[in-house]
A and B are shown apart, each in its own frame.
Chain A
Amino acid sequence: MTEVLSGLPAALGVESLLAMLAGTLAGIAVGAIPGLTATLAMALLLPFTYTMDPLQSLGMMAGIYNGAMYGGAIPAILARIPGTPSAVATVFDGFPLAQSGRAKFALHVALVSSAAGSFLSAVALMLLAPPLVEFALQFGPAEYFWVAVFGLTSVSLLLAGAPAKGLASALIGIAIGLVGMDMITGAERLVFGVRHVAGGIDLAVLLTGLFAVPPALAMLSATGKHAEGLGMTGPGIKVRQALGFARTWLRSGLIGVTVGVMPGAGGNFAGILGYSEEKRAARDDSMFGKGDPRGVAASECANNADNASSLIPTLALGVPGNSVAALMMGAMLIQGLNPGPALFSQHGDVVYGFMWQMLFTALLMLTLGFAGAKVFVHMLRIPSALLAPMILVVCLLGTYASTNSLGDIWLMLAFGGLAFMLSRAGYPIAPIVLGAILGPMAESSFRQALLISQGDPLRFVSSPISVVLVIAIVTVATLPLGRILWRRLRARDARRAEHPPPLRKDR
């Protein structure tokens, strides 16, 4: 606990506070605009963080992450459009509440529940990451190799509708991560004569291209009309009413934290699971779907409780479980901070300071959300066809500002085009980023383990941790097969129920 407290003074510095304030404001505003997500906002910011102090950069990212998750509830409640994918379940009861003239109350329920979820998640991060780091100290290269493979397979298989496409995305990412010089022999790999990439591909360039360009292009295909929502009608929430949601927050918070730690799952899954569990646990669930505030509270608390907890494996093991965690890891790598056990001993003030920033941005979100509700509601009216080119110009400016190279602008465009075409064909994008980050880690661990064992492959399954990880990988890899078999069995049962076989007549 002493170590955790050591990060507090740094997180409370003026520059850190200003960064958190700016990030939270930007996050809520971005989340409130349908089509813009935390991932996009963080990808846009990333190239500008090169010149920032680590806690300035991470504070801003923390604010965007927490803020955007709440911001997504605004169009979900007022216009029946989830501002971010995580706010899907908020629509079910949020919009009926707004329709019945209680829009302000619904927005306030979403706000206090989001803050409660973020707060619980930050506490979980502070409590769970240090013990995981202690455990990770037992890991050698073989164990790190399996951890990277586990992170890649689980995210690729769980995120994609089709497992082959998810795995292919991860392999594309690994190939991108290997471009440049081989770290052991110094030989050039996958450069194909392009001198510009001989030193490797800049992570910020890759992330901006993959996560910012396709959503901005999708905004061009919007109808041209901006979304118009309902007004901020009715009275707001009272303290007593807010405290009445305590049990919902505890239940949904635990769900969100658990989902966050699992690789491949995300805020949207947490929100839907939190909502379903709240409905199941309710004594009277007749109002769910018709404007029950518990539905809004459960969804928003769960999707925000996923935030900080998804960073537990990222900080402790260096294995991001989703695209936002990958972006956060990108922001750390840009600052020269390598997530993993060494980070906690070498840069304790930064890593614990960042945990406090995740907690403080939850409180800032509460203050800014109440104070600026009327302003954020207007974000819905910004025409998407006008916003898209502005986002793209910021992408280009940011990419150039980070590397001072026009070549990187072309590279960013190439990644944007690649992500656009792959997405249209059903390939998920997040595994590409995870592959680019985890691929080189997996390769270096693999080769280190081979060197240590003098080429003995049994080294990879010689420790109990490695065996457990291999079993986990096999389990995750066979999940899609299990799902297919389960669907076929259910379809066969349904067919039998519709057309029962003729009864045999006994003679």
Chain B
Amino acid sequence: MSTPPYHGAQVGAGERLLVHAAVAALGGAVLWDSFSQQGASAYFPTAIGCGLILLSAVSALKVVPRRLLTSEATLVKGLGGLALLAVFALLAGEAGFLSTALLFIPAMALLGGDRNVPRVALATVSFVALAYVVFHVVFAQSFPPEFILGGR
């Protein structure tokens, strides 16, 4: 019998309050934009802006001062993953998607706790080779030039 792969992460009240505040800020931005609209163009944005501020206030008032369970990633791994994705997006335009993937996949696997180096290396190279065949050779999709695979 195996254990389920993931038991969920804990989310503190502070983080939940911060998200409610961000939702209210989003509502404020929508409301602010609606002031520059005229006539019926402003109806929906105004209603949405007010609604978001009101609903986030209701959610904030109901925040309980204890940690709650979520099925999402932990904050560290989630934000770490998003940061790596941002680095990928920055490099992909310069070095190409698949060349960047050669670094990105092992880095993400490491972040996920996979320390089996030969397996990670083999899976990365196999995946990139397969993606190259599918996207570049079979479907001839146009991607930014590759640093390694496509030559510059």
Contacts and interface: CB of A to CB of B under 8 A. Distances in A.
B48 A175 contact: yes
Select the residue from B40, B78, B104, B139 with max chain A CB neighbours within 10 A.
Answer: B78
Contacts of A383: 114, 116, 119
A222 B82 contact: no
A164 B55 CA distance: 5
Nearest to B61: A164
B2 A220 contact: no
Contact of B78 (A217, A385, A393, A394): A217
Given A218-B73, A227-B4, A416-B85, A190 B59 contact: no
Interface string A175-204: 100100010110101101000000000000
Nearest to B120: A386
A185 B20 contact: no
Nearest to B89: A409
A447 interface: yes
B1 A162 contact: no
A219 B92 contact: no
A404 B93 contact: no
Q: Chain B's interface: helix, strand, loop or mixed, by majority?
A: helix
A219 B112 contact: yes
Q: Chain A's interface: helix, strand, loop or mixed, by majority?
A: helix
A412 B68 CA distance: 27
A220 B73 contact: yes
Contacts of A184: 40-41
A423 B40 contact: no
Interface stretch (A103-111, A165-173, A253-261): A165-173
Contacts of A174: 44, 48
A424 B11 contact: yes
Interface string B19-43: 1101100110110010001111101
Interface in B92-119: 92-93, 97, 101, 104-105, 107-109, 111-116, 119
24 contacts: A34-B5, A79-B2, A165-B59, A172-B23, A178-B45, A178-B48, A190-B33, A214-B72, A220-B112, A221-B73, A224-B112, A225-B3, A384-B6, A385-B113, A389-B101, A393-B105, A396-B88, A396-B97, A406-B89, A406-B92, A409-B92, A424-B19, A424-B72, A424-B78
Interface of B: 1-6, 9, 11, 15-16, 19-20, 22-23, 26-27, 29-30, 33, 37-41, 43-45, 48, 51-52, 55-56, 58-59, 62, 68, 70-75, 77-78, 80-82, 85-86, 88-89, 92-93, 97, 101, 104-105, 107-109, 111-116, 119-120, 123, 127, 131, 135, 139, 141-144
